[in-house]
Amino acid sequence: MSGLDTRRAEAAVRRRLNGKRLDHTLAVRQFAVRLARIHAVPVDKVEIAALLHDWAKGAAPEELPRLAEAGAVEVDEETLAMPPLHHAYLSAYWIEEEFGVHDPEILEAVRHHSTGSPGLGPVGRVVFVADYAEPGRKLRQTDAIRAVAEEDLDEAVRRVLQNKLTYLIGRGRPIHRRAWLFWNALMEGAR
């Protein structure tokens, strides 16, 4: 996987994050590890991804465009035009650079924890659900999603994405193409 263990990752997170962001991150980790154990997903990978998924929260708005222009981060124009998604790509980039995490499942989980992505693997799906429905979150249907997630991870993923899409549509906000493609992939898999 990488030279990074969960103890070191947690210590780094505790130094970097504070307040509600730290509380959220630790709650995501706890819920993600629980789901990983229930659904036989590699706990070590889930735990690292959950701890580091918001590593770049609070980064300067120009950071991702600067790194993309320099060729350090591969990111599409649509993502660059949506600053609320920047932290996910920056987090994946920085944890690879700072901690030597090269595991594709961990990096995918971090990079796509906000939007999901067609073909998102089990590690990414667990983090996607845990980020939305960790017990400290008071978002739409989080209690119900937590209960469903323990029984049917795929159904929980579908519900989280549906809630996210409904929220964005209801506020007239743009939706990343990747989220729509993920939705369509989930619907095709349900047939």
Whether 150 contacts 88, CB under 8 Å: no
How far apart are alpha carbons 155 and 144 in whole angstroms? 11
Could you identify the residue written with the tokens 């898999």?
189
Question: Model confidence at 191, in pLDDT bands (50, 70, 90)?
Answer: very low
Q: Name the CATH code of domain 6-190 (choices 3.90.1170.50, 3.40.50.460, 1.10.3210.10, 3.40.50.1700).
A: 1.10.3210.10
Q: Tell me, what amino acid is at 6?
A: T
List all residues 6 or more positions away from 151 whose beta carbon is below 8 Å from its beta carbon: none
Domain range summary for the chain, segments of one domain joined by +: 6-190
List all residues 6 or more positions away from 175 whose beta carbon is below 8 Å from its beta carbon: 165, 168, 169
How far apart are alpha carbons 76 and 84 in whole angstroms? 14
pLDDT in tens, 22-50: 999 999 999 999 999 999 999 999 999 99
How far apart are alpha carbons 73 and 119 in whole angstroms? 21
**pTM of the predicted protein model:** 0.95
pLDDT in tens, 140-190: 799 999 999 999 999 999 999 999 999 999 999 999 999 999 999 999 986
